[in-house]
Amino acid sequence: MLHTSFIELDKEALNNNIRFIREQLDSDTRYSMVVKANAYGHGIEQLLPAIEECGVTHFSVFSAAEAMRVHEAKKEDCEVMIMGWVDDDYLEWAINKEVSFFVFTPERLSATLKQARKMDKPARIHLELETGMHRTGFCADQLPEVFEMLANNKKHFRLEGLCTHYAGAEDYINYDRVEKQIKTFDRLCTLFEENRLSPIYKHSACSAALFNFPETTQDLVRIGISSYGYWPSSGTKMRYKMKHKIEGDPLDRILTWKSKIQSINNVAENEYVSYGKSYLTNRPSKIATVPVGYGYGFSRTLSNDGHVLVGGKRAPVVGSVNMNMMVLDVTDVGNVAVGDEVVLVGEQNGREISIGSFSDMNNSMNYELLTRLPHHIPRRVV
């Protein structure tokens, strides 16, 4: 093992998740798999062929840089959509490659139409509408200007989409806010129709909206976290299970992250372990190191808090997580030897560490921990 850890991607789990999510959709709703942030840490290049084998032909990313990677890795007939950053310098590339992208400011709309006119090739645009998240999108009072620009450039764009994003569909505490957004989106879309602008796709649903507000699925859904086997929140999972009266978890984790025991030492009672004084032994302890620290994607917030699997048991991370290493208390694990497998995320001997149960933390940490997994960790599909 050259690197200090490796990641396995379970194709069967991916297939299961995509099938399960498809079951929630009308047959003519397009499934766009969100592969931004290096496919939520899974690895764009490694995972893309497997996603395509599951029949998904539409990919969403955040930036032009990610779009280029997907464009390189994908099959010819698959489409790429950029939901965020395209600098003016890359509009030409996007238009040329027929990559569609979100437009949410008059400046970008004008630059896009200008570039398309110059190239004599229509830009495939998704107009993002501000419905209540107050992040990006055209507000109602900007629409007359948008309609005028579009009317003057009919040949230079294809209205691929009208879209918006919900501000917290994973938690019912935001119910009224999301409901209001749904109504606003509908109202704004009607204004486009009145101006004879009909998009190919109206789209707004992410994973959370798909499960909690199924009426938002419309023509296309942008599904990230659940494609990878995680619920957007534990509340979403519980609601779904109660509503459909099912046991178990219909989603399967795709990712397994493993390393090995690097060293084992005996430490006397009443000694501090790792940097500083955050962990003091209560007893003579067997202490093991794993060559994965915060520099390699294992968050420092898991100091004295995270767990891993070794020798078929859960072992606590003790002391602070270092840049390159973590320290485990393996006193209660039984026989552990240098070189033994350590599971940072995944299963061993019927026990599981999911990303969320790294420690007793909120599921929203899934997103952050996954996307922080460094690019250099080797990944392979199994």
Using the contact rule CB under 6 A, the part of the chain among 111-119, 194-202, 219-227, 326-334 near ligand PLP is 219-227
Say how many C-beta atoms besides its own lie within 10 A of residue 265's C-beta: 11
| Stretch of 87-95, 212-220, 223-231, 281-289 lying at the interface with ligand PLP (CB under 6 A) | 223-231
Is there binding between residue 224 and ligand PLP (CB under 6 A)?
Answer: yes
Binding flag, residue 208, ligand PLP (CB under 6 A):
yes
Contact flag: residue 225 with ligand PLP (CB under 6 A): yes
Going by DSSP bridges, is the β-strand pair 341-348/255-260 parallel, antiparallel, or unpaired?
Answer: antiparallel
Choice from 165, 202, 237, 307 touching ligand PLP (CB under 6 A): 165
Instruction: Indicate the pairing of strand 255-260 with strand 313-316.
Output: unpaired
CA gap 307, 117 in Å, rounded: 57
Question: Would you count residue 34 as binding ligand PLP (CB under 6 A)?
Answer: yes
Residues 66-85 that bind ligand PLP (CB under 6 A): 83
| Residue 342 binds ligand PLP (CB under 6 A) | no
Q: How far is the CB of 88 from ligand PLP (least distance, A)?
A: 21
**Smaller CB distance to ligand PLP: residue 32 or 285?**
32
Interaction between residue 13 and ligand PLP (CB under 6 A):
no
Contact of 60 with 78, CB cutoff 8 Å = no
- Which stretch, 92-100, 152-160, 216-224, 356-364, contacts ligand PLP (CB under 6 A)? 216-224
Q: What is the DSSP string of 194-240?
A: HTT---SEEEEE-HHHHHH-GGG-TTEEEE-GGGGT--S-HHHHHHH
CA 144 to chain centre: 35
User: Total residues at the site for ligand PLP (CB under 6 A)?
Assistant: 12
- Nearest approach in angstroms of CB 354 to ligand PLP is 16
- Beta strands at 307-310 and 255-260: parallel, antiparallel or unpaired: unpaired
- Rounded CA-CA distance 23/242 in Å is 17
State the minimum distance, in angstroms, from the CB of residue 36 to ligand PLP: 6
β partners of residue 222: 32
Which stretches of the chain bind ligand PLP, using CB under 6 A?
34, 36, 83, 165, 206-208, 222-225, 232
